Amino acid sequence: MNKTKTTYQANPRHYVAVDSIVFGFDGEDLKILLIKRKIEPLKGEWSLMGGFVQEKQSIDQAAEIVLKNLTGLDNVYLEQLSTFGEVQRDPIDRVISVAYYALIKLNEYDRQIVHNNGGEWFSISNYPKLILDHEEMVQTAISKLRRKCRTQPIGFELLPEKFTIPQLQSLYEAIWMQKLDKRNFRKKFLSMNLLDKLEEKDKENSKKGAFYYKFNKEKYEQLTSRGFIFEI
């Protein structure tokens, strides 16, 4: 029996791209990684790192490759954010972009690769004008990160393996852009029993020193499986 081959050739074809909003934390500010665009249109202007989805790539694979090419990192926190598909969003052709946001530790990325890509870090409160709809992507990612940090411990993806409670509080203050009560913040986090206290102290920022902690991801997963709810 002959089978009729089905095609979609009668329908319009579009380009699909991915763009990556990369966040990092330097101890004081939440930052985003931007690049100077190397191709036309809008060559030389500030942009997110992106690329087109190739024929044999999934969207996730394309986003992972973009992040790897920009930072030298893989196996980092990377989540699909939203799809941006306004008809006139790109002046050259019809391009639909799927945006992702990534959380990386600033002591781990490959600085030479970022430099070669023309990348620079900017505070989320002070960064240059961006091309196309990349400003909307960044603001959408910031809003998503702020919401998600309240119900999931993804903030630890931005911290070094060991950190102090003041450093942890500085991170949340940077994300939410507001001051938090020191005593209440400390009490809330320690009451969840998700932090392992170390014997080592950070003595660079105070004479007395603050104990280092580590986030116990295994314990978090065990508690979550029993109905634990992370909430800040």
AA identity, residue 150: R
Gap between the Cα atoms of 188 and 150, Å rounded: 12
Residues spanned by the domain of 183:
159-225
Domain shared by 53 and 141, yes or no? yes
Is 9 within a domain? Answer: no
The tens digit of pLDDT for each residue in 34-60 reads: 999 988 889 999 999 999 999 999 999
β-strand pairing of 15-25 with 95-103? parallel
Domain shared by 130 and 207, yes or no? no
- Say which residue the tokens 């941006």 belong to: 84
Is 102 within a domain? Answer: yes
Compute and round to an integer the Cα radius of gyration of the chain. 21
Confidence at residue 7, expressed as pLDDT on a 0 to 100 scale: 81
Confidence at residue 151, expressed as pLDDT on a 0 to 100 scale: 96
The tens digit of pLDDT for each residue in 19-31 reads: 999 999 999 999 9
The tens digit of pLDDT for each residue in 87-97 reads: 999 999 999 99
Alpha helices in the chain (DSSP H): 59-71, 111-116, 134-151, 165-176, 182-191, 217-225
Please check the confidence at residue 207 and state whether its pLDDT lies above 90.
no
Is 1 within a domain? Answer: no
10 Å CB burial of residue 32 (0-12, 13-18, 19+) is buried
Is 74 within a domain? Answer: yes
Output the domain CATH number for residue 136. 3.90.79.10
What total number of domains does the chain contain? Answer: 2
CB 112 within 8 A of CB 70: no
Q: Collapsing DSSP states into helix, strand and coil, what is residue 217?
A: helix
Gap between the Cα atoms of 21 and 109, Å rounded: 15
Q: Which two tokens stand for residue 151?
A: 């119900």
Is 174 within a domain? Answer: yes
Domain shared by 36 and 94, yes or no? yes
CB 63 within 8 A of CB 26: no
pLDDT, mean of residues 3-12 = 78
Looking at 122, 150, 178, which one is the last position of a domain? 150
Confidence at residue 5, expressed as pLDDT on a 0 to 100 scale: 66
The tens digit of pLDDT for each residue in 101-137 reads: 999 999 899 999 999 999 999 999 999 999 999 999 9
Looking at 93, 118, 150, which one is the last position of a domain? 150
Please check the confidence at residue 158 and state whether its pLDDT lies above 90.
yes
Confidence at residue 63, expressed as pLDDT on a 0 to 100 scale: 97
Sign of CA dihedral 191, 206, 103, 185: positive
Confidence at residue 4, expressed as pLDDT on a 0 to 100 scale: 62
